[in-house]
Amino acid sequence: MSEQSLLFRNGKIYTPDGNLYQERLTIVYNGKIVTETSGIIEGGIVAWQGERIVYVGPDEGFFETEQINNQSHLLIDAEGGWVLPGFIDVHVHGGYGHDFMEATVEAFDELTRFHAAHGTTAILATTVTAPRDALSDVIQTVHGYRSRDLRYAELLGVHLEGPFISSKWSGAQNPEHILPPQSDWLEEWVREYPGIIKIVTLAPESEGAMSLITWLSQQGIVPACGHTDATYDCILEAVHNGLRHGVHTFNAMKELHHREPGTVGAILSDDRISTEIIADGYHVHPACIRIMTKLKRADQVILITDAIPAAGLSDGEYTIAGLDVIVKDSVSRLKEGGNLAGSMLTMIEAFRFMIHVVKLEIEQVSRFASGNPALLLGIESDMGSLQAGKLANILLLSPDLELLQVWGRGRSIFEQ
């Protein structure tokens, strides 16, 4: 079904194939509906039944139909607030005291609950550089977890960040476990857990990386550059082999220089590469974020959190990847060396930062937080925008961007 696909004739509601539509609806009305194809629909309506959206559009004539008036539908007045697609975080390590590396159902429940409460309706379990067995445990647990009733943020799969990265740009990754690409590891994981690994972050300059990039691309896995000292030419070669994504751009990679554009220069200038950004005011200056959004296509910028287990907690001492981290004034850094160590972000905070500080339009940022990550993962037919036929992953925000309600697959996250 496409937008405005329900048909109103003679006081009744019909589906596009001519069948009478009689199911109970959840209807959010009187909102500013943010869509990819129709812009902002003022005073609009989003309606869904079960897991799927059935109507996105204006309210003209909607409530006058006999079918709407005579059935017991759930009506929610948005009171002029914003109605957005749920956020999709493709790069997040943890939150509220838990880490995906724990590889337990209990940790995953707490993580998906925490991030769902901050607007994330779909998520990738992101690993850190670690021994093979530890990574295998995460992949296996994600595989089993996805067969459960996913009550909070939907766990889509795994983002394997490391261990095939550069020791020069290890950032907050544990250098003890950094290795050149091990293709046999990936082949075994893909064979045993097909469809679970969605993104692999590596350093393209490392030995064996180019052939692995090609193989990943052939498997439908997104090859990404990150924690890398790759030159501009090296990145272009990697793109030729299938590389198509840059991880937390500007951070932990070879910088832009006017005589050697480096990894950053390649990401910013090549239309074949999408790019992540951590929008917390510490990792990247707002001016650099604005430059990125001017250089990259509208469908290529992706908002992430890169959140660590300390996200949602107070200042103090924590660990990530076996390394000690100090959080002070909501900034997380390694205790030894002082490198930034992920972030304390949630997606709603990053979303508001992009609007209030970077000064971007809400439709643009919504695409960065929802539509573009869905496109990267190839799930845009199911999620990432408000459109009839897609999953009812929906956020309700107040006019000043306070998060009021989150629905995942049509169910209220806050009421579970």
Residues annotated as binding site for Zn(2+)? 161, 227, 248
Residues making up the annotated binding site for substrate are 172, 251-252, 259, 283, 340-342
Show the 3-state SS of 69-123: HHCCCEEEECCCCEEEECEEEEEECEECCEEHHHCCHHHHHHHHHHHHCCCEEEE
According to DSSP, the residues that pair with 303 across neighbouring strands are 277
Quote the tokens at residue 149: 């009733």
Q: Give the residue numbers annotated as catalytic, written as ranges.
A: 306
Contact 332, 325 (CB under 8 A): yes
SS (H, E, C) 186-239: HHHHHHHCCCCEEEEEECCCCCCHHHHHHHHHHCCCEEEECCECCCHHHHHHHH
Beta pairing, strands 26-34 & 316-320: unpaired
Q: Phi and psi of 118, rounded to 5°?
A: -115, 25
Reading phi first (left if > 0) and then psi (alpha if -120 to 50, else beta), residue 334 is in beta
**Nearest Cα residue to 410 out of 94, 10, 24:** 24
Backbone angles phi, psi at 216, to 5 degrees: -60, -45
Question: Strand, coil or helix: what is 342?
Answer: coil
Nearest to 332 by CA among 358, 159, 321, 162: 321
Q: Round to whole Å and give the CA distance between 254 and 234.
A: 11
CA–CA distance, 367 with 287 (Å, rounded to integer): 20
Three-state DSSP at 175 gives: helix
